Amino acid sequence: MNDKIATAAKKNAAEPAFQTLVEPASVGVLPVPVESPRRWLAVRDRRHSAAVIAAVTIAAASIGGGFYWWQHIRNQLPVGIVWSNGRIEADEIDIDTKFAGRVAELLVSEGDTVRAAQVVARMDVRDLEATLKRGEAQVEQAKKAIEEGRAALEQQRTQLALAKVQWERTNSLVERGNATRELLDQRRQQFDGAVAGFDAASARVAQAEQALTAAEHAVEITKINIADNSLITPRDGRIQYRIAQIGEVLPAGGKVFTMIDIASVYMDIFLPTLDAGRMKVGADARIVLDAYPDKPVPAKVSFIAVQSQFTPKTVETRTERDRLMFRIRVRIDPGLLRAHADAVRSGLPGVAYVLADAKTWPARLQSTFDK
């Protein structure tokens, strides 16, 4: 009996791990096969692998289709036109404070279109206004000092003239023996004193005039500082960000607004060595934005980088040279931008096309914007 039990145990151990168990059935009911847990896991793994393979196949097909489409579109361009994708950018200008102070008034908001020399914010200038009043008072004081000095100078001129006449008369009397030398010496001392008094009065007038000039310059500087506390826009543009709020105390150079110059809009693209070598500053270009695919924007090449964007090795192969990219800037005509200022945006993606060797544009890249 024990030998039979041992033989059955060995037989069960020798059977494969994945087996079909038979659930005991009731009388009159056929037995129902039940899969073991290991077999169920194996089936699930095979299904997961099949799904992964299908996903990879679809992705590869999509990439291949995209590459084919890219090549197809590229091949539609005439020979001599190069292109690359990029984003529209505009020069940003920070509107900063010249002096430390408190923001008193903000006159524009984000998104507002502004003109050159338009006041967009004012700082608190009560301290400068008080300084201006003090300077104006000093100007009036200097003017009065000049008037007094000139009156004193005229008095000294009169005394000098009298002392001179007395000295000359006494000198004549001494020559005729009608006056003493002592009297002549007294008249000479009076004359010398009158000359010294006249010179001192002249110096006081000159000093008062210099004080007036300094006071006037101080008033002028204070007026300039007050004017500089009214923040203005240097160019036509659009307010991009409002950084400060009313009541904030900012240091000198504190940012209040950031604006974009709507007359300086461009797109930077990157071209390989062979294409960049054919570029010329001033070459005709077209920018096609994703937002306006049917409206090519005329532009010109304004900048070509003299160095590649990657540091080359000492020895370069042909493949490595092809990987070197040069930055090309394509700038939109400022007159066109001013005519369509309401449509100027920064950050919009698109494609820039440049005439390298071709003479004319294909029909789909003909400009549709007019000044």
Q: What is the pLDDT of residues 206-229, one digit of tens each?
A: 999 999 999 999 999 999 999 999
Q: Are 308 and 270 in contact (CB under 8 A)?
A: no
CA angle (68, 62, 349) in 5-degree steps:
75
With 0-12 CB in 10 A as exposed, 13-18 as middle and 19+ as buried, what is 156? buried
Which tokens go with 296?
């090519």
Closest CA to 133 of 5, 223, 199: 223
Q: Are 93 and 259 in contact (CB under 8 A)?
A: yes
List own/partner pairs for 149-154 with CB under 8 A and 24 or more apart.
149/201, 149/204, 149/205, 149/207, 149/208, 150/205, 152/201, 152/204, 152/205, 153/198, 153/201, 153/202, 153/204, 153/205
Element (H, E) at 144: helix 126-176
- Residues of the chain with confidence (pLDDT) below 50: 1-2, 4-6, 8-35, 40, 67-72, 74-75, 311-312, 314-316
Return the residue matching tokens 């899969």: 35
Query: Which pLDDT value is given to residue 52?
Result: 55
For residue 345, the tally of other CB atoms under 10 A from its CB is: 14
CA angle (275, 276, 280) in 5-degree steps:
110
CA angle (161, 163, 169) in 5-degree steps:
105
User: What's the CA gap between 217 and 57, in Å, rounded?
Assistant: 81
Q: Are 110 and 242 in contact (CB under 8 A)?
A: yes
Query: Which pLDDT value is given to residue 63?
Result: 54
Closest CA to 333 of 279, 262, 277: 262
Closest CA to 329 of 302, 308, 354: 302
